[in-house]
Structure 1
Amino acid sequence: MSPGDGNDDDLYGGTGQTRTRLPDGGQGDMYGGTARRPARSSSRSLITVVGVVVLLVAAIAFANRGDDASSDGASDKKPGTSPTAPTGTKAVASGFAHDEQGAQSAAANYAVALGSAEMFDKSRRHSIVDSVYAPDVAADRQASLDKVYAQEAFLSSIGLNKDGSAPGGSTFVSRIIPVGTKAVKFAGDSATVDIWYSSLFGLAGTDTKNPVSESWFTNTYELRWTGGDWKVTDFQQKDGPVPVGRDQRASTADDMAKAVEQYGGFTYAR
C-alpha cells in the first residue's frame, strides 16, 4: 500500500513495496518512566522514521543534495545546537563519491534527514525530499508525504499539534542514529544499501503521554547515480536487530529536553 493512499505505513515514501512504520501514541521507555514501547499500530508505520518517517526514510528514506539544500539549514537555531555536515554549514550532506562507500554514506545521511523532526515542517520536508529523492520520484513522494503529515489524527496520536509542532512545555524528538551500513548490491550507477540504526522518537515533557523511546530498525535503500550524486528511488524497512537493554535509570523529561536542545543531531555519517 502506498503513502498516496493515505496509509500511515508509507510515511517516508517509496513505491507500493515500501513499508515504513510510524510511532504510535503509546510509546514506552519513557525518560522518567519504565514502560517499553508496545507493538506498533497502524498509526505507527520510518524514520522517521523515519524512520524514516522512518519515512523515506527513504529516509528511508530516509534529502536534491546540492547547493539548494542549504535552504534547509539551521540558521534559526541557537549556536551550538545546529546539525553538523561535512562543512558544518549544510543541514543535508551532498556530493558523495561515485563508488560503493559513497553509496553507503548517502544512504546513512539520507536516513538521518528523512527521520528528523524537520520532516514535520512542510517547507523543510519539501527541501529534504527534493534533496534525497531522484528527480523522477521526488514529486510523487512530496504529494504522498504531504497527505500523511497533514492527517490530524496521526499528529494527535503522537502528541503533536495539527500543524506538526510540539505542545507548549514539551520538546519533540525524532532522530535516527546510524550504527552501520552494508552494500547489498553495487553496479556502478545503482546500489542497494542496508542501514542499521537506532531511532529516538517522542515528546520530552513532564505531562506527555508520548515519552521519548528507542527503537531499532534496518532500512534497505535503492539508490541511483543521477545529477552527479546518489539519490533514493525506493526503500524498505524491517525491525531490528534489537540489542538487549541495559539496566539504566531513565533520565527525567527535563534532562532529555535539555540534551536535545544542547546536542545538535549529525547530518553526515561515515
Structure 2
Amino acid sequence: MSIGGDEYDEQGRTSGAGTSTRRAPARGTRTRLPGEDGDVYGVGRRPAGRPGRSLLMVVSVVVLLIAAIAFANRSGSSGSEGEENDPGGGPAAQPTAPSGQMPVQTEDGTTGIPSGFPQTEQGAQSAAANYAVALGGDRMFNRDSRHQIVSAISAPSAVEEIQSGFDADYNQALNDRIGLDTAGRAPEGSTFVNRTTPVGAKVTSYNGNDATVEVWCSGLFGLAGEDSTKPVTANWFTVTFKLSWAGSDWKVAASSQESGPTPVSGDNPISTADEIGSAAEQYGGFTYAR
C-alpha cells in the first residue's frame, strides 16, 4: 500500500483502498518508425534540455541560496541594542543560543554588579549567572565588600538571613587556613585567585514574579605563589538561586550549591604559579547574558 492508502496491481495501475480493480481497455499495437516524432500515444517528444540552460539554472539557484543566507544573517543582527525579542523564540535544540535581549540596563556603581535585568525567563537566567560570579569572587573574603555585594543582589526581606549565612561561611578561620589576612589579602609575593565562570543556566520554575534558576559553573580557587601550600585548582559546581521580582529587578531570595557535573580533566600541562597569578590579574571577567 502506498502513502495515501492507494493499492497497486501487477500492471502498476492504482485503485483506492477497499474498491475493485478495473482493467484498462486493451490498446492496439503501434510500431514506431525511425525518425517519428510522436510517442506510442501520439504525444510529441520533448526536445532534450540544453546543457547551457541547465548550468544557468543551477548557478541561479546557488546565487539565490547564498543571497538568502546573507539576508537572514543580516536580519538577525540588525536589531537595536535595546530591542526586546520574543523570549520564547529560542529553539529547544540550541539551549545555549543567546536570546538577543540586552542582558542588563545599568550597573551598580559601588559593587560593579550588573542590575536592571528584564522580567523574563532570560532576564532571570542572566541575573542568576551574574550573581553567581559576584558571590564566587575574591571580594567575598573581605567583610565590607561582602556586605555590599549581598545587599546589592538580595531581596529586601532576605538580606539579613543571607548576610548572616555568608558571614558564618567566610570567617577569619577560613582566611587563616587559606593564608589571607583579615581584609582577605594574600601574603606578599602571592596572588589570591577565586573566580567563578558560569557555563550554562536553566530555569526550573517561573511564574513572572518568582523564578528558580540553576547555574552550572567552573571555578578557580587557591593561592598562586612559589611558596604557596594552596595552589590554584579548578572545580565544578551548580548554584541554585530562588529569585523574586523586586519591582524593577530580580533579587536573590535564597541560594544553595552542590558539586558537579564534573567533566574529565584534560591533559594540558600545568602552568606555573607566576603564569596563573599573572593571568588572574590581567584577564578581566564578563557580564553574562542568556
TM-score (norm 2): 0.61
Does the CA-based 8 Å contact 2:150-2:163 persist in structure 1? yes
Specify every segment of 5 or more residues in structure 2 that has no aligned partner in the other structure, as ranges: 1-103
Tell me the SS of whatever aligns to 1:107.
helix
Counterpart of 2:141? 120
1:135 equivalent to 2:174? Answer no
Asked if the contact 1:69–1:127 (Cα under 8 Å) also holds between the matched residues in 2, the reply is no
Query: For the Cα contact (< 8 Å) 1:69–1:128, is it kept in 2?
Result: no
Tell me which residue corresponds to 2:222. 202
RMSD: 1.8
Unmatched tracts of structure 1, length 5 or more: 1-64, 73-90
- Tell me the equivalent position of 1:224: 244
2:275 is the alignment partner of 1:236: no
Secondary structure of 2:222's match?
strand
Matched, 1:186 2:206: yes
Mapping of 1:8-23 within 5 angstroms? none
Distance 2:185 2:239 in 1: 26
Structure possessing the higher radius of gyration over alpha carbons: 2
**Is the CA contact 1:96–1:105 (under 8 Å) kept in the aligned structure 2?**
yes
Deviations 1:8-44 (A, max 9, x none): xxxxxxxxxxxxxxxxxxxxxxxxxxxxxxxxxxxxx
Matched residue, 1:157? 177
- Please state how far the C-alpha of 1:148 moved relative to its aligned partner: 3.7
The equivalent residue for 2:109 is 70
Between the aligned residues of both structures, percent identity stands at 50
8 Å Cα contact 1:176-1:197 kept in structure 2: yes
Structure with larger RCO (C-alpha < 8 A, sep 6+): 1
Kindly indicate whether the alpha-carbon contact (under 8 Å) linking 1:178 and 1:198 is maintained by their aligned counterparts in 2: yes
Task: Please name the residue that 1:259 is paired with.
Answer: 279
| Residues 112-154 of structure 1 deviation map (CA, whole Å, 9 limit, x = unaligned) | 00111111122221221111110111123223433443x3321
Question: Distance between the aligned counterparts of 2:195 and 2:237, measured in 1?
Answer: 13
**CA–CA distance in 1 between the matches of 2:263 and 2:160?**
37
Alpha-carbon distance, 1:155 to partner: 1.0
Q: Deviations over 1:59-81 (max 9, x none)?
A: xxxxxx99782112xxxxxxxxx
Equivalence for 1:109:
130
Report the Cα distance in structure 1 between the residues aligned to 2:207 and 2:169, rounded to whole angstroms.
33
2:194 alignment counterpart: 174
**2: CA distance between counterparts of 1:130 and 1:211?**
31
Contact 2:143 2:183 in 1 (8 A): no
Q: Matches of 2:223 and 2:286 in 1, distance apart?
A: 20
For residues 108 and 140 of structure 1, the distance between their equivalents in structure 2, rounded to whole angstroms, comes to: 21
